Amino acid sequence: MAETARSGFAGERTAPVAGAAGSSGGANPSGGGRAGPERTILHCDMNAFFASVEQEANPALRGRPLAVGGGGPRSVVCTASYEARAWGVKTGMTAGQARRQCPDLIFVPPDFEKYTDTCRRLVEIYREVTPCVECFSVDEAFLDATALVAAGHVPEALARRIKERIRGEVGLRCSIGIAPNKILAKLASDLQKPDGLVRVRPEDVPRIVWPLPVNALCGIGPRLAVAFSRMGVETLGQLAAFPVGLLRERFGIYGEYLHEWSAGRDRAPVIPSEEAGPPVSIGHSVTLERDVGERERQVQVLLRLSEMVGRRARAAGLAGRTLAVTFRYPDFETFSRHRSFGDPVDDSSLIFEVARSVLAATPLRAPVRLLGIRLSKLEPAGRQATLFPEAVRRRALVQAMDRVNDRYGEFSLRWGAAGTEGVWG
């Protein structure tokens, strides 16, 4: 559990407060339904993170409409600055669509090393508040401040100090939601962007949460929102009032979770990132510069994706037993095909051979605009030791290629195949 704040980073103090009453249904919204102090969870969400990092690094970009992503007409916007959003530019738009919305839009290629480094700096600030920090993504984190509040600290004061330090030390703005559980804290951080600070207490759920549309809840995307609309469910209040048995019949156990979350209840603990364990999958996908129907060109893209996935797996010391190849048509219909390995694999060429066989066995009704590869059922590499000379030599070759690519850049050495010029987005 969280400890008290370190000297020099304490918020305003007040007398300890008793836990508030639970939300509808009698369950403790802090989680678990157990008696005890109400939890205090903070959700820190960086505003337009990639774009804000680029604007902080390059003052010439500040105040200008900016999109992070490839500049090709079919490349996708990873994120847009608030100046660009004012023109209607949204994450997920193609570059061509974004430029039509905002002719003066500036595109900057993503620099994930820079974003990861910024994330590390943010986490250092969070951990000076509490060691109980869960990185939800590169630009989001949950902090469990329950022990701090029990010791007399004011949640809003802690949040303001976090925001001040991030602004002063990293040069960025963030929105923070405060609530008795993770699902409400995340929802609260979305209510007042950018640079917001919102607290949602259990008694606030009917007034603040229930009037919101269902897709305001993390986990409900456009398709699920449409499905709920067809059931006459438009708001979170209507979802909370919907018979849970019918939701379970329609959506399985996930329907039960959504019912709990819409009522403001969430049992999930904040799990410190170092305790979260290894990733469950490793994958890469690419939106192509043009729709590609030629199998040989699709094979070339799969080769490059296989190299990227294999290198990430080896760098993490992981190997996978299942491979998924994802296809997306020009009308955005997306589907995946899976194949299992006999032994766990991290060798890029073996990943590619299976990906190519999946492609060969998959009839496509149209050219594709996106291809992706994902390795899952991961486990530590090296469990399946081998004494076969050919396998040992191959492993040594792969390691040598990795060392060359680490030193001279990605794809300096790669398995033999033609390049992907003209199709890589």
- List pLDDT tens digits, range 89-142: 998 888 889 999 999 999 999 888 898 899 999 999 999 999 999 988 889 999
How do residues 1-15 score in pLDDT, each as one tens digit? 332 222 223 333 332
Q: Structure tokens of 104?
A: 């003066």
Integer Cα distance of 159 and 44 in angstroms: 9
Do 95 and 73 form a contact (C-beta atoms < 8 A)? Answer: yes
Integer Cα distance of 46 and 74 in angstroms: 27
Residue-level pLDDT at 276: 59
Domains and CATH numbers, the chain: 1-10+35-200 (3.30.70.270), 204-274 (1.10.150.20), 281-408 (3.30.1490.100)
More confident residue, 338 or 36: 338
pTM of the model: 0.66
Closest among 147, 142, 149, 144 to 122, alpha carbons compared: 142
Q: What is the mean pLDDT of the chain?
A: 82
Q: Structure tokens of 5?
A: 């704040």
- For residues 333-348, one letter each, b for 16 or more C-beta atoms within 10 angstroms of the residue's C-beta and e for the rest, the string is eeeeeeeebeebbbbb
Q: Structure tokens of 91?
A: 């994450």
Residue-level pLDDT at 281: 87
How do residues 220-230 score in pLDDT, each as one tens digit? 888 789 999 99
Query: What's the whole-number mean pLDDT along residues 264-277?
Result: 83
What residues are annotated to the active site? 140
Integer-rounded Cα Rg, in Å, for the chain is: 24
Residue-level pLDDT at 21: 29
Residue-level pLDDT at 386: 44
Residue-level pLDDT at 381: 76
Closest among 156, 154, 197 to 173, alpha carbons compared: 197
β-strands 368-380, 318-328 pairing: antiparallel
Sign of CA dihedral 207, 212, 216, 218: positive
Percent of the chain with pLDDT over 90: 57
Residue-level pLDDT at 222: 82
Closest among 227, 233, 270 to 251, alpha carbons compared: 227
More confident residue, 43 or 312: 43
Element (H, E) at 355: helix 348-360
Residues 6+ apart with CB under 8 A from 91: 77, 78, 79, 80
